[in-house]
Chain A
Amino acid sequence: MDGFGVTSAFWGLSALAVGSAVGIIVARNLLHAVLWLILTFIALGGLFITLSADFVAVAQVLVYAGAVGVLVIFAVMLTPNSATGNSETRFFGPGFIVASILSAIMVYVAAATEWQATAPPGFKTTAALIGDALVNQYVLPFEVASVLLIAAMIGALVLVRSDD
C-alpha cells in the first residue's frame, strides 16, 4: 500500500464492493440483486489489480462478471415470478444471526493474524508464471480439474439429450 493512487483506488474499490454487496441483500427485485452481484465481482477484479495480480483480475472479470453472471441470469429467468415476488421471510432472524457470527469470525481472524507486509518490487507480470506453474508443478491437479469439467459437460449433454 504505497502512494496516493493505490490507496485511493483501494478505498474507492472497497467502497464499491461493499456498497454493491449491501445492494445484493437489500434489493427486493432478484434481477437487481444479480446486477449488484456483478458490480461486486467487477470491483473485486479492480482490487486484484491493486495487488499486482493482473491475470487474476482479468480472469475474475472473465469468469465471474461474464460467465457466472450470465449463468445466474439464466437461472433467475427460469424461475417463475422470481423477479418481483419476494416477500418477507420468516428465516430473517436465523439468517441474520448466522451471518453475524460468520462475519464476526472473519473480522476476528483478519484482526488477530499477523500479516506479513512485503512491498513488491514494482508491477510484475504474472500470466507467464501462472501458465508455467500450471503445466509443470501443478500439472496433475490441472489435469484432474480438466477431466472433472469434461465429465460434467458430458453429463449435462446426456441429461438434456432427446431420444430420437
Chain B
Amino acid sequence: MTALAWYDIRTLANPVAKLLEILRDNFPDWVAYVVSGAIGAAAIGAFLGIAMLSLIWIERKVIGRIQLRYGPNRCGPFGLAQPLADALKLMQKEALTPLVGDKLVFWIAPILIFIPAVLTYGVIPFGERMAVANLNVGLLFIVAIGGTTPLIVFMAGWSSNNKYSLLGAMRTIAMVISYEIPAVVALLSVVVLTSTMDLSGIVEFQRNYNVWNIFLLPLPFVIFLIASLAEVGRTPADIAEAESEIVAGYHTEYSGMKFGLFYAVEMASALALGGIMATLFFGGWWTFGLQLLIPGWLIFLIKMYACYGLFIWARGTLPRLRIDQLLSFSWKFLLPLGLINVVLVAFEVALWAELDAPGIILAPFALINWAMAAALVVGYVRLLNISEAQTPRLAVLTNTVGVINRIPAAEHSNYAVAGD
C-alpha cells in the first residue's frame, strides 16, 4: 500500500503519511506528533459535525417512515436543511441555569460528556492505516472510556438539584454498569477468537481468514447490540429519560444548546458504537475484496451507518422497557449466555491451537456457534420458564379487566393496577 502516490484517495492515510514524513525529516520529533494529533482532532471534529447533521435528518426521516409519516419535509429539498434549522433554533434559545443548583458542575457537564464520545472515534480504524491512534489495547480503551460516561451524566443530574434529574442520573448509572458487563463479555469472545485487542488487528484477522466475525460469533453480536442500545440509552432502553415517568431524566433542567449537546452526544456515541460493531463483526474496511474497487473508508462509513440503522430500527419498533425488566434481562439472560459463549469460544481456540489446523477449521466452528446460539437462547428461555402469561399476546389491561379472561384468577395479582 505504501507504493500508492500521496494524492491517491483510496486511502486518506497517504497524504497524511507524506506530510508527516516531510515533517520528520525537517523538524524535531515532537512537531510531527503535534501535527498528527492536530490532524486527527480536526478530522474527527469535521467528521462528527457532518455526521451529526446527516444523522439527525436520517433518523427523523426513517422514524417518520416507520410511523407512516413523511418526516421533515419543509426546510430545503426533502427537508435536508432541517438539522441546520434545529441547531439554529437551539442556539437562539436561552440556556437557563437553576438558581439553587451547583452552577459550575451544571455548566461543565455538557462539555465533559463530549470527551468520551470523541475519544472513542480516536481508535476506530476508518480504513487501512486510518485510525488516529492505533492502540494495541484499543478495545479495552473503548470500554474504559465508555465507563466514565455515567459519571458525567451523574454530574449533570445531581447539579440540576431536581428530583427527576437525579432519578434519571441514578437510573443511567444502574443501567450502564449492568449492561457494561454483558457487553464486555461479548467483546471478550471476539478478543479470545482473534487473540488481539487492537481494532486494526481484529480487522486483519477477518481479512486473513476471509470471514466476518458475525458468521463466527452470532451470539456475542446480539448481546453487544442489545447492550450498546442500553449503554447509549436509546429507545427500547431509554428509561434514563423516560418522558412518561421522569420528564426528561438527567437533562430536565438543560435548555438551549446545552440540551443540544446532550442530544448530539447520544447520537455521536451511538454512531461510535455502530463503528465498533462494523469493525468487530462486519470486517471494518475490509469486504471480501470489494475494498480494491471502492475506497475502504467509504465501505466502513456505509457499514457504520448501517449499524446505526439497527438502532433507528429498534427505536421505531420497540416500546420502552421498565427499569426492573431491563436490569433483570441483563443479569439473568445476557450475562449467563455471554459467559457460556466465552467458554465455548475458548475451547474452540484451544482446540485450534492444539491441532495446529488451517483456517478452514473456522467453518465447523461457525456451525457449532450458530447451533449453540440457537440452543442457548431457546433453552434458556424454557429454563427461565418465561410462559405466555408473562409475555401476553393480548394487552395486559384487557386481561385484567376480565374482558377476555385468559389468565387464571390466581395470577391476577401480578398485574395489579392502581386502585386494586
Tell whether A141 is near chain B: CB-to-CB under 8 Å.
no
Determine the chain B residues whose CB is within 8 A of the CB of A69 once the complex forms: 148, 151
Over the window 123-158 of chain B, the binary record of Cβ atoms lying under 8 Å from chain A Cβ atoms (1 yes, 0 no) is 000000000000111001101110110110011001
CB-based contact A65/B155 at 8 Å = no
Q: How many Å lie between the Cα of A61 and that of B105 in the bound state?
A: 21
Q: Pick the contact of B30 from A3, A55, A125 — CB < 8 Å? A: A3
- The size of the chain A interface, using a CB distance under 8 A, is 25
- Nearest-neighbour CB distance to chain B for A11, whole angstroms, equals 14
Near B by CB (< 8 A), chain A positions 23-62 give 29, 31-32, 35, 38, 42, 54-55, 58-59, 61-62
Near B by CB (< 8 A), chain A positions 89-127 give 125, 127
CB-based contact A77/B147 at 8 Å = no
Known: A38-B151, A73-B151. Contact between A61 and B144, CB under 8 A? yes
Q: Pick the contact of B28 from A4, A54, A67, A125 — CB < 8 Å? A: A4
Determine the chain B residues whose CB is within 8 A of the CB of A125 once the complex forms: 136-137
Over the window 99-117 of chain B, the binary record of Cβ atoms lying under 8 Å from chain A Cβ atoms (1 yes, 0 no) is 0001001000000000000
CB-based contact B147/A5 at 8 Å = no
Near B by CB (< 8 A), chain A positions 57-95 give 58-59, 61-62, 65-67, 69-70, 73-74, 77
- Nearest-neighbour CB distance to chain A for B198, whole angstroms, equals 9
- Closest residue of B by beta carbon distance from A66: B147
- The size of the chain B interface, using a CB distance under 8 A, is 25
Known: A31-B158, A54-B136, A127-B137. Contact between A70 and B150, CB under 8 A? yes
Determine the chain B residues whose CB is within 8 A of the CB of A67 once the complex forms: 147, 177
- Closest residue of A by beta carbon distance from B138: A58
Q: How many Å lie between the Cα of A93 and that of B140 in the bound state?
A: 44
Tell whether B209 is near chain A: CB-to-CB under 8 Å.
no
Tell whether B29 is near chain A: CB-to-CB under 8 Å.
yes
- Closest residue of A by beta carbon distance from B147: A66
CB-based contact B33/A5 at 8 Å = yes
Q: How many Å lie between the Cα of A4 and that of B28 in the bound state?
A: 10
CB-based contact A59/B33 at 8 Å = no
CB-based contact A55/B137 at 8 Å = yes
Known: A38-B151, A65-B148, A73-B151. Contact between A58 and B141, CB under 8 A? yes
Q: How many Å lie between the Cα of A32 and that of B108 in the bound state?
A: 13
- Closest residue of B by beta carbon distance from A65: B148
Known: A54-B136, A55-B137, A58-B137. Contact between A3 and B29, CB under 8 A? yes
- Closest residue of A by beta carbon distance from B177: A70
Determine the chain A residues whose CB is within 8 A of the CB of B135 once the complex forms: 54
Tell whether B173 is near chain A: CB-to-CB under 8 Å.
yes
Q: How many Å lie between the Cα of A3 and that of B137 in the bound state?
A: 24
Tell whether B216 is near chain A: CB-to-CB under 8 Å.
no
Determine the chain B residues whose CB is within 8 A of the CB of A127 once the complex forms: 136-137, 140, 197
Determine the chain A residues whose CB is within 8 A of the CB of B140 once the complex forms: 55, 58-59, 62, 127
CB-based contact B137/A62 at 8 Å = no
- Nearest-neighbour CB distance to chain B for A15, whole angstroms, equals 19
Tell whether B202 is near chain A: CB-to-CB under 8 Å.
no
Listed residue (A4, A55, A62, A125) with the most chain B CB atoms within 10 angstroms of its CB: A62
Q: How many Å lie between the Cα of A29 and that of B161 in the bound state?
A: 14
Determine the chain B residues whose CB is within 8 A of the CB of A3 once the complex forms: 29-30
Determine the chain B residues whose CB is within 8 A of the CB of A58 once the complex forms: 137, 140-141, 144
- Nearest-neighbour CB distance to chain B for A58, whole angstroms, equals 5
Listed residue (B143, B151, B173) with the most chain A CB atoms within 10 angstroms of its CB: B151
Q: How many Å lie between the Cα of A3 and that of B32 in the bound state?
A: 13
Determine the chain A residues whose CB is within 8 A of the CB of B147 once the complex forms: 61-62, 65-67
CB-based contact A66/B197 at 8 Å = no
* Chain B residues at the A interface, C-beta cutoff of 8 Å: 28-30, 33, 102, 105, 135-137, 140-141, 143-145, 147-148, 150-151, 154-155, 158, 170, 173, 177, 197
Can you pick out 24 interface pairs between chain A and chain B where the beta carbons lie within 8 Å of each other? A4-B28, A4-B29, A31-B158, A32-B105, A35-B155, A38-B151, A54-B136, A59-B144, A61-B144, A61-B148, A62-B140, A62-B143, A62-B147, A65-B144, A65-B147, A65-B151, A66-B147, A67-B147, A69-B148, A70-B173, A125-B136, A125-B137, A127-B137, A127-B197
Closest 4 CB pairs of A and B: A66-B147, A62-B144, A61-B144, A125-B136
* Chain A residues at the B interface, C-beta cutoff of 8 Å: 3-5, 29, 31-32, 35, 38, 42, 54-55, 58-59, 61-62, 65-67, 69-70, 73-74, 77, 125, 127
